[in-house]
């Protein structure tokens, strides 16, 4: 997903679909540091310019970036999904998809998947510690994000533009997946995601 401000175009990745517990409204998650935006568009592949497809805007109070809990996510208001059979799916490489059956806490040492729009789906990252707080550079400003889980791999699992993308555990028996969190940043082989449980709780969504 992308937006343009002046001469600058910013890319992030759309995350899980969620629904407001009180409102019943449909939302999409992405990273809060991507910015509060009224007109997110669908971007072309790997950083292509927006194709004009309107994705939605950050919901009224839906950017939880640097709140008192040190969250870093936002909810983007989207059109009601109605009978859209793709709602609630996570898209992977080669056009395949996973239905999301629920959420998962990944024990240290277990594998899980990173899936940003620039890097693509990378399965088998090893979970590090969870419940972490880490410092990141956000356009020259140091910020602290909390409620994180670490993922490590010998190959690249995240890079700029992947922020907000889903991390999940693939269920080999059912072909579905369980949500773990949304990508925030790190180095290419040592990346962090904010845990989905914290995001759902803070935003009162499911």
Residues of the chain with pLDDT under 50: none
Q: What pairs with residue 143 in β-bridges?
A: 136
Is the distance from CB of 32 to CB of 71 less than 8 angstroms?
A: yes
Beta-carbon contacts of 130 under 8 Å, excluding residues fewer than 6 positions away, are 105, 106, 108, 148, 149, 150, 195
pLDDT for the residue 172: 87
pLDDT for the residue 195: 98
pLDDT for the residue 50: 62
Using a cut of 0.85, tell me whether the model's pTM lies above it.
Answer: yes
pLDDT for the residue 193: 98
pLDDT tens-digit series, residues 119-161: 999 999 999 999 999 999 988 899 999 999 999 999 999 999 9
Q: Is 105 helix (H, G, I), strand (E, B) or coil?
A: coil
pLDDT for the residue 2: 92
Determine the length of the chain.
Answer: 206
């Amino acid at each position: 997903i992308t937006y343009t401000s002046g001469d600058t175009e910013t890319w992030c990745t759309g995350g899980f679909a969620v629904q407001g517990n009180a409102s019943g409204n449909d939302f999409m998650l992405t990273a809060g540091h991507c910015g509060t935006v009224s007109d997110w568009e669908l971007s072309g592949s790997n950083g292509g310019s927006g194709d004009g497809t309107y994705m939605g805007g950050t919901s009224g109070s839906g950017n939880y970036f640097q709140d008192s809990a040190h969250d870093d996510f936002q909810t983007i208001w989207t059109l009601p999904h109605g009978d859209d059979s793709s709602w609630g799916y996570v898209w992977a490489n080669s056009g395949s998809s996973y239905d999301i059956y629920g959420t998962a806490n990944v024990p240290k040492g277990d594998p899980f998947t990173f899936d940003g729009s620039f890097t693509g789906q990378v399965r088998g990252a090893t979970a590090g510690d969870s419940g972490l707080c880490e410092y990141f550079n956000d356009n020259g400003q140091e910020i602290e994000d909390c409620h994180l889980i670490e993922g490590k791999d010998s190959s690249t699992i995240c890079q700029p533009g992947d922020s907000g993308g889903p991390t999940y555990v693939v269920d080999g028996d059912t072909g579905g997946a369980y949500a773990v969190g949304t990508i925030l940043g790190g180095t290419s082989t040592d990346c962090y995601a904010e845990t989905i449980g914290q995001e759902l709780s803070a935003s009162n969504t499911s």
